[in-house]
Structures are given as structure tokens and as C-alpha cells.
A and B are shown apart, each in its own frame.
Chain A
Amino acid sequence: MLSFLIRRILQTIPTVLAVVLLVFVLFSVVPGSIVSTMSDDSDPQVELRMKKQLGLDQPVYMRFGVYVARLATGDLGASFRTREPVTTMIAKRAWPTLQLIFASMAFAVLLGVPLGFIAALRPGSLVDTVSMVLAVSGLSLAKFWLGLLLMYLFALRLGWLPSFGYGDGSLKYLILPAVTLGVSPMALLARTTRAAVLEIMTADFVRTARSKGMSETRVVKWHVMRNALVLILTTMGLQFGALMGQAVVVEKLFSWPGIGSLLVDSVLQRGIPAVQGSILVVVLFFLAINLLIDVLYGVIDPRIRYA
């Protein structure tokens, strides 16, 4: 198990390096002078001084070397404007984002998976049709539109929940953003679960289970669920990526102080180090989640173990 884990971690290193390179190239080479987009003051003297100060007068490969060397020590650079270290900026915002992501995934799993099961066990029934129509609708919604509507209804009209912000970090602030963010993974999980269960129900071992005299409920509980879990986990893993992306929009909409809104604000203010740092952290998190899911595969499906 440990060697499997170490091997998997080693396998992600090239990807991480490639992302580092990509992020660096994207922002350090393409847009030309960062300093000129940073200040409206286009005095060449000032610009040169600032470049020197920021080490931007060095050739690109030197800058990349310095960047990677600093990364290795956990230094993501500092804001050009406020000189605040990016690592600190991200650290402050990591917890709200984690809260949001995991709360939405929990919402998605707790609703989507049972919905998919119920639909699959009665294919063609009213429950099936209604839940699949709901699922395809959930996938077609713009997250921020749904968020706006929920905000209007539950915060402004009914006054049950706060409309935006992190507040004191209590649960009531989390509900609307998490539900908004969770709807499309929920819809997708419902669809995947349904398809997975339908497929598994035709498997030979399900027929064996029935031949043992099991009720359909037991067939599902004892034999279908664990097999469906593998497919559900795959979808979950992919959905974490989509969730990280959508979190940017939802955090912005609800003024949620997470990494997503840091990313958008930094992009709008051309705060390049913070943009690079946020993207790197998001990718690292996503890779870590996928690693975790690979480990879970092994736990659920013995055929994959230590492979």
C-alpha cells in the first residue's frame, strides 16, 4: 500500500512541474512587460527601476530558475502592490474554499447518489423520468444564475439566510453557496449512478444473487452498491476539478473569501504572483484529491489493489 502511494505521488511530479512551467510561461512571457500593465504611470525611468526591484530585468530562463527555486521553499512570491506574500494570502483563504468545496460535494453525493439509485431501480417510472429531467436541468443551469435566484428567494425575500459573505464562519453563511455549487455535480452523480446501477443490474453476479433468493433490496445493498461505488468515485474525482473551477464564480457571487475570489480579483488587478499561486494550489489540491480517490479504489475494488 505504501509503495503504491509513493509511486503514485512520484507519478504526479511531472504533471506538477508541467503546470508550474505552463503557469510561468503564460504570465511571464506572453504579456510582455508586467510592470507596464501594472501602473498607469509610464515613465520609463520608473518602469526600469521597478523591473530591477522585481528582478524582471533578468532573462526569462533565469527568472524561471529563481521562481522554481523559491517555489521549492514554499515561497510563491509577493504581491507587486502590497508586498504581502502570496503564501499568506492563500493560506488565509484556503479554509473557506475547502469548506465550500467539501460542503457542495457532500450535498451532491447525499442527494445525487440516492436519486440515481431510486431512478435506476424503477427504470421508466415516474420517479425515474422526473429525477432525470431534474438532473439534465441541473446540468444546464448557469451556477451564478441559480445562486442569484436562491439569494433572492432565501435571503432577500424570506430572510432565512444571509445573502452573501463569510460572516462569522457559521453554517448559515455556507448553505447558499454550497447548494449553488453542488447542484451540477449532484445532477451528474444522479445520472452516473443511474447508468452504473442499470448496467450492474444486468451483470451475471446479480442474477446469481437473485438465484440465492434475495429480495431486490438486498441484491442492491449486498451486491450492487459496492460495484456502483467505483463508477461513482470516478465521477466524483472528475467533478472535484469542475467544482474548483465553478467555485471561482460562486465565491465571487457570494463574496466568499476563498481562493477562487482571490484568483478573480488578482486577475482583474493583474496581480500575477497571486494568480500563479492560486492556480498552482488549485491544481495541487485537485491532484491530491485524485490520489486519494485512487487509494479508495483499492479499498473498494480488490482487483485494483496494489496494482
Chain B
Amino acid sequence: MTGSPLIEVEDLSIDLDDGSRRVPAAEGISFRIDRGETFGLVGESGCGKSITALALIGLLRPPLSVSGGVIRFEGREIQRLSAAAQRSLRGNRIAMIFQEPMTALNPVSPVGRQIAEMFVLHKGKSWREANQLAVESLASVRVPAPERRVKDYPHQLSGGMRQRVMIAIALACGPDLLIADEPTTALDVTVQAEIIELMRNLCAERGTAILMISHDLGLVANVCRRVAVMYAGRIVEERSSADIFRAPSHPYTQGLVDSLPRLGSRAALGRSRLKEIAGVVPAITNFPDGCRFNPRCAQATDICRTAAPKTDLLDAGGLVRCHHHA
């Protein structure tokens, strides 16, 4: 973690405005990703991981908005850039793939055209050249017979093929950062491993950093070098993937690790979903005082119910937000 980071998030907060009041959906989010690095964001649905990703790429839409903090890309504050400058980063330098390959592609546009758009938008190509490049992009994500497939519409492709198309779109302009939001959750189990492999290999070849978002700690740890665990709008622990399994520090992370089958076996690829930890995830409008995990935490004491824990540096490397961390 030396040198200038590719992207740096500092104390980011995101508010949800439900018309009558604003509630924080995520707050105090800080992390950095270096060039070519792989970083994972893990948590249950509603913990704020996806909206954090959308904030990075500037796609938050009302009722959600960034209410504080800084996002720096190559040292430049993204929020201060003009709308046009932000757009020239989006897709070009920072790309994103989404969970639902079914609905993330335009149903009435051929997939080749949807890839070709990237070259027209960011590389100043004509449609003719762009269509040619689209065939190459499809070939690079190992879609067979790409010159015929470019004319297909999304409904003519399988889920796995569609996600390959999404990857082709995202990597078309050779971005520095790829944000992958649950990229395989909607796919068949057999296809998941292929897609993950493809994504990881292509990014490694091109030196593209990955920010991977998932509810699946096993999967994320398998792909990423470092992992941050989010709970109820906050990052509770950030560690290297190896450490997080060997010695999870936050009680919530411990719960996550314990609920995985074949503990510590990274080769297991952690296909299973997270088992619920006792209790329920608090609603966004109703976060508990103090440490937000305290109602579900076996180790909670009085201080956990009144004071929000600060982020501590761990001697072994990493960060944790807990009054009683190991």
C-alpha cells in the first residue's frame, strides 16, 4: 500500500432523503485501492455496499445522494470535476458491471452496438470502426463466433453470455478500475466460476484494479487481496483476505467466517450464501445507538450501547471498528 492510490475514499457519507427527513444510508466510509489491486466490499443486503459503489462512479440518483466526504481518483476530487469530465472518467477509466445481466442490457439493441457505444463515446471512433472493435471485444471475453453474436439481441443469449457481454462493455476502453456489483449472484452455479475466472484473468492481464461487491465473503476473499466488511452503513473491519479468515477481529466478521463451510479453506471458493447471524439487520431508519452491531453481539457491554466505536489500527495490519476487538 505504497505510492499514490488509484482511488481513495475518505469519510464518505450517503444520505437517503425520504421526503420528510434525511437518514444516513452509509457514513464514515474510507478505503483506498491501488493500481491493479483487488479489493472487496462484503456485507448483507442493505448494508450500503452497493450505494458506495454507485457513489464512486457517480450514479447515485435521488432519493440517495452523497452528503459528505471526498472521493479522489488519481488524486483528483471526482465531485469537483465538471459533469463532462466526470462522464469522461465513467466507463472509460472507471467501469462497472451489475448484478442482473438480464435487465442491465437494453432489450431492443443488438449487443454489438451496446459494446460499440463505448468506442464511439470515449475513443472517438466511427460506428463502423466501433462495430469492428466490438467483435474483438466479444472475442476477448471468449464468446464463440463473435462476428455473428454482435448482431444478437440480449434475449437471444444465455445469462452467462450476457454477463460476458457486460464484461466486454466494461473492459472495452481498458479502464483502470472495474467495479463488479454481485457479478455472478444471478447466474447458475456452474457458470459463476467461469465468469469470475474470466473477469479476474482479464483484469490481471490489463492491470485493471477490481472493486468487488458481494454478500459472499468466501467469493470475495477468493478474488480479492484485501476485504472490507460493511455492517449497517459502516465499514467494521478491513483486512487482507488471508488474515480475515485466520484471525477475524470484529465479532460480526467472526460470525461471517464461522458461518462459512470448510473454514479457512480458500480453495472451497465459498459458494454458499451467508447464514444469518442471530438477530436481524436493523432498518436504515432505525439504526441502534452506539455500535450498530450491539443488539446482535454476544460480547456487547454498556459502552457498545452508548458510544460508537472508533476505527483502530490493528498491529497485524488492518482496521477494525469495535470496542472489544481481538
> Which A residues lie at the B interface, using CB under 8 A?
203-205, 207-215, 218, 222-223, 226-227, 230, 300-303
Complex Cα spacing A303 to B95, Å: 28
Contact indicator per residue, chain B 115-130, by CB within 8 Å of chain A (1) or not (0): 0011001100000000
Minimal Cβ-Cβ distance residue in B for A207: B59
A-B contact pairs, 15 of them (CB 8 A): A204-B100, A204-B104, A208-B169, A209-B117, A211-B59, A211-B91, A211-B96, A213-B121, A222-B117, A227-B106, A227-B108, A230-B108, A301-B107, A302-B107, A303-B155
The answer to whether B108 touches A300, judged by C-beta atoms less than 8 angstroms apart, is yes
> Which B residues lie at the A interface, using CB under 8 A?
57, 59, 84, 87-92, 95-96, 98, 100, 103-109, 117-118, 121-122, 153, 155-156, 166, 169
The answer to whether A227 touches B100, judged by C-beta atoms less than 8 angstroms apart, is no
The answer to whether B106 touches A205, judged by C-beta atoms less than 8 angstroms apart, is yes
Nearest CB on A from B111, distance (A): 11
A214-B87 contact, Cβ under 8 Å, with A204-B100, A226-B109, A227-B106:
yes
Q: Most chain-A Cβ atoms within 10 A of its Cβ — which of B87, B92, B153, B166?
A: B87
A204 is contacted by which of B98, B109, B121, B122 (Cβ under 8 Å)? B98
Minimal Cβ-Cβ distance residue in B for A206: B106
Chain A residues, CB < 8 A from B92 = 213
Chain B residues, CB < 8 A from A207 = 59, 98, 104
Chain A residues, CB < 8 A from B87 = 213-215
The answer to whether A212 touches B169, judged by C-beta atoms less than 8 angstroms apart, is yes
Chain B residues, CB < 8 A from A227 = 106-108
Minimal Cβ-Cβ distance residue in B for A215: B87
B108 is contacted by which of A204, A210, A212, A301 (Cβ under 8 Å)? A301
Minimal Cβ-Cβ distance residue in A for B100: A204
B89 is contacted by which of A213, A215, A230, A300 (Cβ under 8 Å)? A213
Nearest CB on B from A302, distance (A): 4
A223 is contacted by which of B103, B109, B153 (Cβ under 8 Å)? B109
**Once A and B bind, how many residue pairs between them come within 8 Å at the CB atom?**
75
A212 is contacted by which of B91, B103, B156 (Cβ under 8 Å)? B91
Nearest CB on A from B93, distance (A): 9
Complex Cα spacing A230 to B106, Å: 14
Nearest CB on A from B101, distance (A): 10
Q: When A and B form their complex, which 3 residue pairs have the shortest distance between CB atoms, in order from nearest?
A: A213-B91, A213-B90, A212-B91
Complex Cα spacing A89 to B191, Å: 67
B98 is contacted by which of A208, A215, A226, A230 (Cβ under 8 Å)? A208
Complex Cα spacing A209 to B118, Å: 10
Chain B residues, CB < 8 A from A209 = 106, 117
The answer to whether B104 touches A208, judged by C-beta atoms less than 8 angstroms apart, is yes
Chain A residues, CB < 8 A from B96 = 211
- 8 further contact pairs, Cβ within 8 A, besides A205-B104, A213-B122, A227-B106: A203-B103, A204-B100, A207-B59, A207-B98, A209-B106, A214-B121, A218-B121, A302-B108
Complex Cα spacing A8 to B153, Å: 24
Q: Is the interface of B mostly helix, strand, loop or mixed?
A: mixed
Nearest CB on B from A200, distance (A): 10
Complex Cα spacing A212 to B170, Å: 8
Chain B residues, CB < 8 A from A203 = 103
Nearest CB on A from B84, distance (A): 8
Minimal Cβ-Cβ distance residue in A for B87: A213
Complex Cα spacing A212 to B175, Å: 11
Chain A residues, CB < 8 A from B122 = 213
The answer to whether A205 touches B91, judged by C-beta atoms less than 8 angstroms apart, is no
Nearest CB on A from B65, distance (A): 15
The answer to whether B59 touches A303, judged by C-beta atoms less than 8 angstroms apart, is no
Minimal Cβ-Cβ distance residue in B for A200: B106
Complex Cα spacing A205 to B96, Å: 12
Nearest CB on B from A274, distance (A): 45
Minimal Cβ-Cβ distance residue in B for A301: B108
Chain B residues, CB < 8 A from A204 = 98, 100, 103-104
Complex Cα spacing A223 to B87, Å: 17
Nearest CB on A from B126, distance (A): 16
A303 is contacted by which of B89, B103, B104, B153 (Cβ under 8 Å)? B153
Minimal Cβ-Cβ distance residue in B for A205: B106
Chain B residues, CB < 8 A from A302 = 107-108, 153, 155-156
Minimal Cβ-Cβ distance residue in B for A201: B61
Chain A residues, CB < 8 A from B121 = 212-214, 218
B106 is contacted by which of A213, A223, A300 (Cβ under 8 Å)? A223
Nearest CB on A from B55, distance (A): 13
Chain B residues, CB < 8 A from A222 = 109, 117
The answer to whether A212 touches B117, judged by C-beta atoms less than 8 angstroms apart, is yes
Complex Cα spacing A221 to B151, Å: 20
Complex Cα spacing A230 to B87, Å: 29
The answer to whether A212 touches B90, judged by C-beta atoms less than 8 angstroms apart, is yes
Chain A residues, CB < 8 A from B57 = 211
Chain B residues, CB < 8 A from A300 = 108
A226-B89 contact, Cβ under 8 Å, with A210-B59, A211-B59:
no
Minimal Cβ-Cβ distance residue in A for B92: A213
Complex Cα spacing A215 to B122, Å: 12
Chain A residues, CB < 8 A from B88 = 213
Q: Most chain-B Cβ atoms within 10 A of its Cβ — which of A207, A213, A222, A302?
A: A213
Complex Cα spacing A302 to B157, Å: 13
Chain A residues, CB < 8 A from B59 = 207, 210-211
A205-B117 contact, Cβ under 8 Å, with A211-B96, A212-B91, A213-B89:
no
Chain A residues, CB < 8 A from B103 = 203-205
The answer to whether B107 touches A303, judged by C-beta atoms less than 8 angstroms apart, is yes
Complex Cα spacing A289 to B57, Å: 46
Chain A residues, CB < 8 A from B90 = 210-213
Complex Cα spacing A301 to B109, Å: 9
